[in-house]
Structures are given as C-alpha cells and as structure tokens.
Amino acid sequence: MITRLYIHIPFCQRKCRYCAFVSKKGSASEIDAFVDLLMAEMRQACRKSAPLHTLDSIYLGGGTPSLLQPTQVGRILDLADQLFGLSEGAEITLETNPGTVDQSKLAGFRVAGINRLSMGVQSFDDRMLSTLGRIHTTGQATDCITAARRAGFNNIGIDLIHSLPGQTLEMWHQDLRQALELGTEHLSIYGLTIEDNTDFAERYADHDSLVDEDLSADMFETADSVLTSTGYEHYEIANYARPGFRSRHNSGYWKRDGYLGLGPGAHSFLRCSDYGIRFGNTPDLDEYATSISGGELPRRDRIELTREDALAEFMFLGLRMADGVRSSDLEREFGVSLWKQYDKTLDELVGQGLLTADNEGVRLTKRGMLLSNQVFGRFLE
C-alpha cells in the first residue's frame, strides 16, 4: 500500500557549503524538460508499481522545489490527483528557499494546491548564513514568512541548524527567540553534520570534531526547553509542532507507511511483499533521463526486507518519535511481544537511562534522544 508521494526536484540556484543532497544548477529550459520527465516517470510508475491508494500526502523536496514556477507545480499535482487520487485534506508540502520566492509566486503555489511550506531558513544570523553559503539573508527569510501568511498559508515549518562554526549558545538562543516571534506552526532543528563530498568536508578536513560536543548537547537541550515551554510538542528527535501541525508526510516515514519516490535519488518503500521492498532511483540526472525516455523506471538497489530487517526498522524508526514504540503495534505486525523479542536489549537501555518503559511500550528519554544513534545501533546487532 502506498499513501504518500515524494517528489525530488534536483536543482538549486547555488550549492550550499554543507549540502550533500542530489542537486545542481539548472536553467529554466532544463527545469522545464525535467518536469516533463518527472510526469512521464509518474505515469510509468503508476502503470508498473504495486496498487496505489488515494494519497494522503505529497512532499516536493530537493534540491529547491520553489525554483519551479507555480504552473509547473500545478501540472505535477494535477497529474498526481488524476493518477492516484488525493484524499480530502491531503497534506501537500513544498520545500521553499526564501531566496527564490516573492509574494506573487507564493500565492501561485497556494492556488496550485500547496497547503504547507517547509522553509529552509537555517539561521537568523547573516554571518552564519554566509558561512553556510545560503543564497538568502535573514531579512529575506522573515519577509518570506510574512508573504506566505498573506498568500494564505496557515501551515508553515522552518528548518534551523545549530552547532555551526563560530556559533555561541547566546547566538542560538537568539535564533530560537526570532523563530518564536515568527510563530510558525512547525520547526525542524538539526545539529550540523559534515557530509562527504561537500565544501565543508574539504574545509574542515583537519578538524576531528568541528563543534564541541557539550556545546552541541546544550544547544539541543536549549531548543527543547525553549520550544516545549512555549507550547510546541517535541514529537520527533529533530521536530517540533504546534498541536495539530505534526508533519503527516514525515510521520509516515517513521511509521513505515508505504511511499513512492519520484525524481533522481528519490527512495521508495512499497508495502507489497511480506515485509516490504525498498529501492532508490539513480541520483544521476543523465542516467535518469535516459531511463525514462527509454520507457524504463530508473530504479536501483532493490532490497526485499526480511523479517529481521523489518523488525529493526520498526524499532529504530519508531523510537525517533516521542510517542515511542507501542508493544501492541509490534505484536500486530510481527506476532511477537516487544519484551519477548528485545528483552535483554530493552533492559540494558532502560538501565542506562536511554529508554523509558511502561505497560504500553518504550520511548527515548531526553538523554536517549541525544545519543539516539547509540540506541538505534542496538537494534541492528
């Protein structure tokens, strides 16, 4: 079953220094040609994939999907509706770079069917934005949120990054204060990581650890206390939402809902065998174009999950959410009790203060959220 559609737009105006996502600079004609390819892929995938069900969410990510024109977004969404159908009130998100939109373009996206914006703000400090190589200023980001409100968006999320080179705890506090003033419905908070094949990887190659781990932990805890004390729910390790505004699409990933990914580098999870099938599209745009033009889907790295794979995923994805993993859900899907399956591991993690347990199930403690990779690794042993 597939209820979610992810669409990857592989173009950016300029590469940010920390970014390892599949994206490149694209001219207007390249973007236009890509939209045609994407729509051809959608038609082919609809014919060849497992049965699809009415979509509950569509997420246009990238790259920079807000480089598309509203008419192009409208064509993509109309085709998705025509082929798969959209459920009443489906969540339709567009990742938006504040440097690529104005009031009229945002109004056009709203008319095209977008009802949620996820804005890559990253910092409210122009020095930090320049270090990251972002194309926008703080002023453009705040103007963008105001313009989005005027255009009728009442579901806006922003991304912020902490643990940046040269960033102090006070600077991070200021970022959070500014975010609170803007009052967006959703916030995603990430600590900077240095990814391979990025400018940052070269620039900071000699630094074992760019950021002091204690400072990074303080920044995580500061975000948690500032945002939860002002009414945001900390519903996933990196995500906060006003009640009723959790990201339905991303929650679907953590709950292992089936989803179809279109576009170069996009991943899919089809719930069409016992434990599901995962695969990814080629990240190479030329290879992607050749496949689609030849009538072939550009899928690679197909993995049919075993029961062990699926159980491990169920645990480490489910534990990302503050609600944690419910014993009854695991029993329904795998026919085994949580305690029977993971008895020793759970006891140890609870003993180390990384998990908390009750009759319903288990969830990460705040310390467990900070050391989540250590916890998740235990379910992969």
Q: Which residues bind ligand SF4 (CB under 6 A)?
A: 12, 15-16, 19, 21, 23, 62-64, 97, 120
If the CB atoms of residues 120 and 361 are measured against ligand SF4, the closer one turns out to be 120
Residue 95 near residue 64, CB atoms below 8 Å: yes
Q: What angle do CA 200, 204, 210 make, to 5 degrees?
A: 105
d(CA 30, CA 372): 40
If the CB atoms of residues 62 and 283 are measured against ligand SF4, the closer one turns out to be 62
Q: Give Cα separations from 29 to 36, 97, 104, 288 (angstroms).
A: 11, 20, 21, 17
Residue 245 C-beta: closest distance to ligand SF4, Å = 22
Residue 99 C-beta: closest distance to ligand SF4, Å = 8
For residue 11, give both structure tokens: 């173009």
Residue 331 near residue 311, CB atoms below 8 Å: no
Residue 252 C-beta: closest distance to ligand SF4, Å = 21
Residue 186 C-beta: closest distance to ligand SF4, Å = 17
If the CB atoms of residues 19 and 297 are measured against ligand SF4, the closer one turns out to be 19
SS3 312: helix
If the CB atoms of residues 136 and 320 are measured against ligand SF4, the closer one turns out to be 136
Across-strand partners of 59?
6, 93
Residue 12 C-beta: closest distance to ligand SF4, Å = 3
Residue 64 C-beta: closest distance to ligand SF4, Å = 5
d(CA 156, CA 364): 27
If the CB atoms of residues 19 and 219 are measured against ligand SF4, the closer one turns out to be 19
Q: What is the DSSP letter of 17?
A: T
If the CB atoms of residues 64 and 167 are measured against ligand SF4, the closer one turns out to be 64
